[in-house]
Structure formats: structure tokens, C-alpha cells
Structure 1
Amino acid sequence: MTVVPPTDPAAFEFFNEIGIIDQLAGTIFERAMPQGLTRAQFTVLNHFVRLGHKERSPAQLASAFQVTRPTMTSTLARMARDGLVVIRDDPADGRAKLVSITDKGRAAREAAIAAMAPLAPMLDAVIDPDELAAMLPVLRRVRIALDTARD
């Protein structure tokens, strides 16, 4: 007997595929990352570089990553201990902190990206470079829409 999968709405299938890809790619990425750098730490470093290295408060970072403040504070404390970020008092609010990426943090991000280079042939085998270039603007629009909707 042939099992016919249910016909789910296209939007569900879209997000389901992204979720599965995220899980699979995340595992591959974690295995390829330089020793001592976690996926959570990489995403914080990448956030700083992607947004132009601007200082952020731990609360802003927790909101951006949709994690609790204690979770972000713990991640940032380990990153500061390892010299990847600097945490300083906010001069405008003595109770608040500001976080910025360091040169060592930028170098760790670049090393993580370089560690992913051997995985490029796997992607090249299933997606033509022109298809990939065409997909990126669509994915960015979806990310921007989802980011806007959560605020």
C-alpha cells in the first residue's frame, strides 16, 4: 500500500523545509566551527558584523535572538571571558551595559565562515549558483517580514 502524504498548505511546507534545513545545517555548522566557538556565540558575532558593529545592550541582543535576558547574559559573559566581545557600563544609564565585538570576535567569525568552505561543494551539487543568487533576495524578504512581524 502506498502512503500518500497529507496535502499541507504551501506556507506550512515552506516553513517546515526551512526548519528542517536549519536543523541539519546547524548541526553541520556546529561540527565545522573552530574549537570553543558555539553556534550561539557565532550568531552574536555575526549579528554585530551584519549590523555594522554597533554597540547593543544585552536586552537588545536577547530581543533580537528571542531568548531570555539571563540566557543572553550567560552567553555574553562567556564571550567576554574569551575576548570575543567587550561589555562596558552604559554612560547614559549606570545600571545598563553595552556590548561590542572585538577584533578577536571578528577574527573568530571569519574563522567560522572559513571552516564552512569545505561544505560549499555540497551546496553547489544541489543548487546552481544562479539559482542561489535568485533565492537570496526572496529569503531576505521573508526574514525582514518575519522580523518586522515580531516587533
Structure 2
Amino acid sequence: MTDRQRNPTGAALSLLILDVFRLNGRLLAEGDRLVAGLGLTSARWQVLGAIALATAPQPVAWLARSMGLYRQGVQRIVNELEQEGFVAFADNPHHRRAKLVTLTKKGRTAYEAADRMQKPWVNRLAKSLNAADLAAASRVLAALRQRLDEEAREED
């Protein structure tokens, strides 16, 4: 086998990656549709979720890292959300310039409404799927993400 050929596992992983890309596009489109009436997009919903689920207010860089995204992209979305009253910035006692991001009442209300809308949607989507299969898929995706994180650290 030359360096240009995939082994059977590499070929299977390539197909999985393509499926994940296609799934991501569909999930973003469906997420946009689901939360459009709340003044959100999938990207905004994702950022609100990261803020809502954090154990304490965090700066944008930490939020981006927890989502596996670039800080600049998350910063743009946070700035939009702040302009529309979904989030607010608070002083960070550990860093003068890296403000902490917090949900406002409007942001918490929107996030909770999106969560309520997501539950019946995800339950319909999960119909006829097996919980054990989904858990196995989640473990595979987590292992791939971890491997990518490790390779990125080795390159730094």
C-alpha cells in the first residue's frame, strides 16, 4: 500500500467524515428552521447553549474552545447577541480585556424556549434508533475529536 492509498479503516473513516459533513449541514438547516421564530440561528443557539450550560460565566475564548470553534467566529456571534440583548458582558476579575459573557433574561428565555422546541423534534428524530447504537456512535465521534485535538497540540 502506498502513502496515497487508504487502508480499509481509513476508507471507512473517510465515508463517515463525509456523512458527518452532510449531517452537519442538515442539522444546521433544521436548527435554523426550528429557532427562527425566536430570533436565533443554529449558530446563535449553539453559543447560547454554551453560555447557558457553562458552570460559570466565561470569556469568549473559553466558550469557543469548549465548542471546538474559532474565537473570532464566536466573538462575532456573541457581539450580535449582545447588540440584540440576548447576552451581556461582565468584568472579568482575572483579565481586564477578556470580558465574561452572561445570558440576559431575554437570552435565558430564548434558550429555554429553544430547548422546549428541541425536545419533541429530537424525540421524533430518534424514533426507531437504538440508544446503544447512538451511544456507540457518540463514543466514536468523541474518540475522533480527541485524536484531532491531540494532533493539533502536537503541531503547536
Give the TM-score, by structure 2 length. Answer: 0.70
Query: Identity of paired residues, percent?
Result: 25
**Match of 1:66, SS?**
coil
Say which SS state the counterpart of residue 45 (structure 1) adopts: helix
1:34–1:148 distance in 2 versus 1, CA, 3 Å: farther
How does 1:101-140 map onto structure 2 within 5 Å?
A: 101-116=103-118, 117-125=120-128, 127-140=129-142
RMSD: 2.8
Q: Which moved more, 1:135-144 or 1:11-20?
A: 135-144
Secondary structure of the 1:37 match is: coil
| TM-score normalized with structure 1 length | 0.72
Which structure has more relative contact order (CA 8 Å, sep 6+)? It is 1
Q: Is the Cα contact below 8 Å between 2:31 and 2:41 reproduced in 1?
A: no
Q: Which runs of 5+ in 1 are unaligned?
A: 1-6
Structure 2: state its 5+ residue gaps: 1-7
Q: Once structures 1 and 2 are overlaid, which stretch shifts more, 37-46 or 100-109?
A: 100-109
Partner of 1:67: 70
Contact preservation (8 Å) 2:47, 2:74? no
SS at match of 2:127: helix
- AA matched with 2:107: G
Deviation track 1:105-127 (CA, whole Å, cap 9, x = no partner) reads 333223223223235323314x1
Matched residue, 1:57: 59
> Judging changes above 3 Å, is the alpha-carbon distance between structure 1 residues 120 and 89 closer, same or farther for their aligned structure 2 residues?
same
State whether structure 2 residue 45 is matched by structure 1 residue 42. yes
Are the equivalent residues in 1 in contact too, given 2:51–2:63 (CA < 8 A)?
no
Name the structure where helix makes up a greater proportion of residues. 2
Counterpart in the other structure of 1:82: 84
